Chain A
Amino acid sequence: MGHDALVRDELDQLTQDPLPRLESPGVDAPGEVVGRVLGTADATPLQFWTAVAPGSYLQLDDVVVTRRELPGGEPVTIAGVVTQVRARHEGAQFDSDVFAIADGTLPAQVQEAAEITTTRVDPETYVPPHPGAVVHRARGEARRQALHFDRMERPIPIGTGRDGVPVYLNADFLDGQRGAHVSISGISGVATKTSFATFLLYSVFNSPVLGGDRVNTKALIFNVKGEDLLFLDHPNARLDDRTRAAYAQLGLPAGPFGDVRVFAPPRAGDRSGSPDVSSRLSGVDTFYWTLAEFCAKRLLPYVFADADDERQQYTMVVHAVAAHLERHAQPAEGGGGVSIDGVAINGYDTLVDFVVDRLNDEETRHSWTGSAVGQGTVNAFARRLIASKKDLSRLIRGDLATRRPHEVNTAASAQVSVVDLHNLPDRAQRFVVGVTLKTEFERKEKAGTAKPLLFVVLDELNKYAPRDGSSPIKEVLLDIAERGRSLGVILVGAQQTASEVERRIVTNSAVRVVGRLDPAEASRPEYGFLPQAQRQRVLLAKPGTMFVNQPDIPVPLCVEFPFPAWATRPAEAGAAPAAVLRSITQSADPFAVVGAKSGLSDDEIPF
């Protein structure tokens, strides 16, 4: 508590800092003239075309502004972004005329025109701009207004636009005040979904918009591919001055995450429970569940977390057995094992064998499953339970000391907790994600306040919350999507295809981000927020380019976010932070070692 108060004092000072200046205060005049509204195509209040003046250019995503004088009213400022640009030969009638034109015999004029999609009309009088009206490139204050940044009380930088000027996300739509949750879609490998999610977190943690809550705000990241996210606290050795300048422009320091804890599952077959990571050797904690917890917290349903499982008859057996385990399993003295009906069990394999044995026994079966269950259903359950031994025996332990810290608890952990799943088989991944999210969500439910926030970054959301079927994990994720906003759990979900994710999760996301998409995927209605031109562009988006749609701004903004300032793989990792080095010597809990029964007699020196 004392520590918390100290931190709060520090933070109070921080919050006195003014919000980041978005841009240098603009002059009343917008930027230079780039063209005029053209009159050969309809100009509407929401979309119009601009002829680009000779010697000027407009590219996609440029921000422009024009004005319309109204009789007896104040002038209307119409601002928008360029969503399409075209150039054509005026004076050419036939396709082959281009050769005569290029030959220098046919006079023709190259005329460029840009389609502008309106982002803001101020005051809100929806009149079309007049053909012939001068169109300016929006700079400074005019750009801020065009993109609604001036109305954002708490802007979070998320990268730069095509024009190299910062683009912001309204924190109100991230932290639950007016909306929450982020949905990121894109092809694996090219769309840089995880990088954007971590950059977003970095920006949240390093910009002053969250004020005093910033330090207590936590993030839970599931690492599903490679060991990419295990080095968040290591500086990136390949960071150059250009990247540093990019961070500086966004008002962010260029550095690693300050406070990270990495959790990894125990190595398979290793009795000491050392973490199963290959590249990061220090500062990694092992997570697992004791058999006692497994029984007491009724975690058995998460073993059957496949969407297919829920449709089967044996689901009722699962719940009956889970209830029986909760009722009858007694924690064994000292270790993490249990004893059921007087039988000591100190491993998942033994537990499975024990349960299967009891279910096959005519005398005990009905006390475990209830009377209405047929033998076939019980067998189906037993078959799957036996199959899970291979995947889960390293995660559900009865042989390691209870006192040894082994749970993923963001409240007691560092600011960023990374849970490494990449070495786990599919069933084990589902178990870990399901149980961890359930535990965290219940903790927040009990706390009853939204603050401090917990960001949950989960890739491959389509695996955990598929569109069809239901599973315990999907229930937890739906809970987060629908109630997380008020409980302070913010889901940052990533998936290759939003169309395969439960619709209620996608629709509850206030912020939608799209990286490079598969052509078939881009045409699905889930991406209806993208205008036609952007749907084509997402097929070409290069790594580091994302289209961000937020409720404030009617057009998704094209954003380039800087190269990570933290290491994303072992080769990039700079010097390890001091805390990690310290943890090498302190990683083993001496009391846990002393208390452990496995192998050590009391006479041996435990260190």
Chain B
Amino acid sequence: MTVWFKDAWGPGYGTSFEVPDEPAPAGEGGAEVVVNVERELPVWEALSPAPGARTPDVVMLVDGVRRIDGGMWSREPDGASHRALAVSYAAGVVRCDLRRGVADLVDSEVRRGLFTSSPTATDLVAGQVRYEVHRVGSPDPAKLPRAIQAPLTALEVHVSDRAGDDAGLLVLDGPLRSRRHLRNAVGYTKTQQESYLPAELIPVVTDLAPGQRTPVFRRGTRWASYSWYLRLPGPRGAPWSGIVRVECSTEVGDQAAIELADVSAVTLPRFASTPYKDARAPQNLVPIGGLERRLRALLGDPRLLDRALSLATRSPAPVTA
């Protein structure tokens, strides 16, 4: 039986490492880029949406949130100690019916996991909640936060699958990854950690006017996708401010990808958030921001869970002689 000890420090301090928001897909560094999908190279320039492109009636957006409820240490039968994170995570779908003017949280799911490298760990029950154990191979505590991403993505895929397919555009937060089978789905990347384009084309991106996009290009070998950059409306600042990268599956073909790019270019600027309301404006879209707030509320009160974890891991009071 594993004995757990909860870190007295809050999880924000106990994990003194940054969790990369969107870890770059492995094995894509230096992948081949095909830029002449929509435009041939000499005339590769900023594009305004095609005149026929219009916002679909129904747009769905999928996102997930996670929160580390507590950091813990185990005492194994053999005397060793392993790090563990008690994590709550949730994914949900917002259905924006723009014609009726109603945005609903149509689906959401909350899960809790105990991410640890302890070989003997079992599910941890704290009060009314149960943290399912997720065993992590590496004993390095610094790798634990990254391990949360896989189940969270799986949960996002799960709710996306259930969301139905009447959406004219399905916006998935982050890269598409294994969700390329979904109809009208685009991956939406807020932060640009590396440029996908050759250096000579970068000025096309940084010179985009709000609402404009780059031509579609194709990139990657294993997780190949069509991509394009788009500038959201907002205050002009740094060259990359307000730039998002949108991608869609290569399975749809060149023409459908270009149409999706136009639809995204007329739809996403409408969802752009304003700086005083959202610290990640304009990239963090308004429905996503609302969804994240709702999901965080569904995760439960962190102080309550903290107390439940403390109670669940409380060691018997030492008997004083």
Determine the chain A residues whose CB is within 8 A of the CB of B104 once the complex forms: 107
State A108–B94 Cα separation when bound (angstroms): 10
Q: Give residues 46-96 of A contacting B (CB, 8 Å).
A: 91, 93-94
Determine the chain A residues whose CB is within 8 A of the CB of B102 once the complex forms: 104
State the Cβ distance, B188 to closest chain A Cβ, in Å: 15
State the Cβ distance, B294 to closest chain A Cβ, in Å: 6
State A31–B94 Cα separation when bound (angstroms): 35
Q: Give residues 222-277 of B contacting A (CB, 8 Å).
A: 270-271, 277
State A298–B94 Cα separation when bound (angstroms): 87
State the Cβ distance, B219 to closest chain A Cβ, in Å: 30
Determine the chain A residues whose CB is within 8 A of the CB of B303 once the complex forms: none
Residue of A nearest to B101 (CB): A104
Cβ A106 vs Cβ B294 within 8 A: no
Count residues of B near A (Cβ-Cβ below 8 Å). Answer: 22
State the Cβ distance, A97 to closest chain B Cβ, in Å: 8
Given A104-B103, A105-B270, also A91-B290 (CB < 8 A): yes
Determine the chain B residues whose CB is within 8 A of the CB of A104 once the complex forms: 96-103
| Of B101, B270, B291, the contact of A102 (CB 8 Å cutoff) | B101
| Of B271, B285, B293, the contact of A91 (CB 8 Å cutoff) | B293
| Of B97, B99, B100, B103, the contact of A106 (CB 8 Å cutoff) | B103
Residue of A nearest to B105 (CB): A107
Cβ B94 vs Cβ A107 within 8 A: yes
Q: Give residues 91-114 of B contacting A (CB, 8 Å).
A: 94, 96-105
User: Is residue B37 contacting chain A, with contact meaning CB distance below 8 A?
Assistant: no
State A108–B95 Cα separation when bound (angstroms): 11
State A204–B286 Cα separation when bound (angstroms): 63
State the Cβ distance, A88 to closest chain B Cβ, in Å: 15
Q: Give residues 90-123 of A contacting B (CB, 8 Å).
A: 91, 93-94, 97, 100-109
Cβ B287 vs Cβ A94 within 8 A: no
| Of A94, A97, A105, A109, the contact of B96 (CB 8 Å cutoff) | A105
Determine the chain B residues whose CB is within 8 A of the CB of A100 once the complex forms: 286, 290
Residue of B nearest to A100 (CB): B286
State the Cβ distance, B273 to closest chain A Cβ, in Å: 9
State A107–B271 Cα separation when bound (angstroms): 12
Residue of A nearest to B277 (CB): A94
Given A93-B277, A94-B277, A101-B103, also A108-B290 (CB < 8 A): yes
State A101–B293 Cα separation when bound (angstroms): 14
Cβ B98 vs Cβ A107 within 8 A: no
Cβ A103 vs Cβ B101 within 8 A: yes
Residue of A nearest to B100 (CB): A104
Q: Give residues 61-103 of B contacting A (CB, 8 Å).
A: 94, 96-103
Count residues of A near B (Cβ-Cβ below 8 Å). Answer: 14
Determine the chain A residues whose CB is within 8 A of the CB of B286 once the complex forms: 100, 105-106
State A100–B100 Cα separation when bound (angstroms): 13
State A75–B215 Cα separation when bound (angstroms): 70
**Interface of chain A: mostly helix, strand, loop or mixed:** loop
Given A91-B293, A91-B294, also A105-B103 (CB < 8 A): yes
Among B97, B101, B286, B290, the most chain A Cβ lie within 10 Å of the Cβ of: B290
State the Cβ distance, B175 to closest chain A Cβ, in Å: 23
**Interface of chain B: mostly helix, strand, loop or mixed:** mixed
State the Cβ distance, A580 to closest chain B Cβ, in Å: 64
Among A103, A104, A107, the most chain B Cβ lie within 10 Å of the Cβ of: A107
Cβ B277 vs Cβ A108 within 8 A: no
State the Cβ distance, B307 to closest chain A Cβ, in Å: 17
Residue of A nearest to B287 (CB): A105
State A101–B289 Cα separation when bound (angstroms): 12
| Of B105, B271, B293, the contact of A105 (CB 8 Å cutoff) | B271
Given A93-B277, A94-B277, A100-B286, also A107-B294 (CB < 8 A): yes
State A93–B292 Cα separation when bound (angstroms): 13
Given A91-B293, A91-B294, A94-B277, also A107-B287 (CB < 8 A): yes
Residue of A nearest to B106 (CB): A107
State A416–B135 Cα separation when bound (angstroms): 91
Determine the chain A residues whose CB is within 8 A of the CB of B287 once the complex forms: 105-107
Among B99, B270, B293, the most chain A Cβ lie within 10 Å of the Cβ of: B293
Determine the chain A residues whose CB is within 8 A of the CB of B285 once the complex forms: 105
State the Cβ distance, B38 to closest chain A Cβ, in Å: 28
Determine the chain A residues whose CB is within 8 A of the CB of B271 once the complex forms: 105
State A108–B103 Cα separation when bound (angstroms): 7
State A109–B103 Cα separation when bound (angstroms): 9
State the Cβ distance, A131 to closest chain B Cβ, in Å: 14
Cβ A103 vs Cβ B98 within 8 A: yes
State A97–B273 Cα separation when bound (angstroms): 11
State A101–B105 Cα separation when bound (angstroms): 12
State A264–B227 Cα separation when bound (angstroms): 96
Determine the chain A residues whose CB is within 8 A of the CB of B291 once the complex forms: 107
Determine the chain A residues whose CB is within 8 A of the CB of B103 once the complex forms: 101, 104-108
State A106–B94 Cα separation when bound (angstroms): 9
Beta-carbon contacts of A5-35 to B below 8 Å, as 1s and 0s?
A: 0000000000000000000000000000000
Determine the chain B residues whose CB is within 8 A of the CB of A108 once the complex forms: 103, 290
State the Cβ distance, A107 to closest chain B Cβ, in Å: 4
Determine the chain A residues whose CB is within 8 A of the CB of B100 once the complex forms: 104
State A103–B272 Cα separation when bound (angstroms): 13
Residue of B nearest to A94 (CB): B277
State A70–B270 Cα separation when bound (angstroms): 54
Determine the chain B residues whose CB is within 8 A of the CB of A101 once the complex forms: 103
Determine the chain A residues whose CB is within 8 A of the CB of B94 once the complex forms: 107
State the Cβ distance, A103 to closest chain B Cβ, in Å: 6
State A100–B94 Cα separation when bound (angstroms): 14
Q: Give residues 191-231 of A contacting B (CB, 8 Å).
A: none
Residue of A nearest to B97 (CB): A104
State A103–B290 Cα separation when bound (angstroms): 13
Determine the chain A residues whose CB is within 8 A of the CB of B270 once the complex forms: 105
State A109–B287 Cα separation when bound (angstroms): 13
Determine the chain A residues whose CB is within 8 A of the CB of B290 once the complex forms: 91, 100, 106-108
State A104–B56 Cα separation when bound (angstroms): 12
Determine the chain B residues whose CB is within 8 A of the CB of A107 once the complex forms: 94, 96, 103-105, 287, 290-291, 294
State A22–B156 Cα separation when bound (angstroms): 58
State A97–B103 Cα separation when bound (angstroms): 12
Q: Give residues 33-72 of B contacting A (CB, 8 Å).
A: none
Determine the chain B residues whose CB is within 8 A of the CB of A94 once the complex forms: 277
Q: Give residues 273-319 of B contacting A (CB, 8 Å).
A: 277, 285-287, 289-291, 293-294
State the Cβ distance, B154 to closest chain A Cβ, in Å: 23
Residue of A nearest to B57 (CB): A104
State A540–B276 Cα separation when bound (angstroms): 40
Residue of B nearest to A93 (CB): B277
State the Cβ distance, A38 to closest chain B Cβ, in Å: 15
Determine the chain B residues whose CB is within 8 A of the CB of A102 once the complex forms: 101
Determine the chain A residues whose CB is within 8 A of the CB of B99 once the complex forms: 104
State the Cβ distance, A138 to closest chain B Cβ, in Å: 32
Can you give 14 A-B contacts (C-beta < 8 A)?
A: A91-B294, A100-B290, A102-B101, A104-B96, A104-B100, A104-B101, A104-B103, A106-B286, A106-B289, A107-B96, A107-B103, A107-B290, A108-B290, A109-B105
Q: Return the 10 tightest CB-CB contacts between A and B, nearest first.
A: A107-B103, A104-B101, A106-B290, A107-B290, A107-B94, A104-B98, A105-B286, A104-B96, A104-B103, A107-B105
Contact surface of A with B, Cβ cutoff 8 Å: 91, 93-94, 97, 100-109
16 extra A-B contacts, CB within 8 A, seeds A104-B97, A107-B94: A91-B290, A91-B293, A93-B277, A93-B293, A94-B277, A104-B99, A104-B101, A105-B96, A105-B98, A105-B285, A105-B286, A105-B287, A106-B290, A107-B105, A107-B291, A107-B294
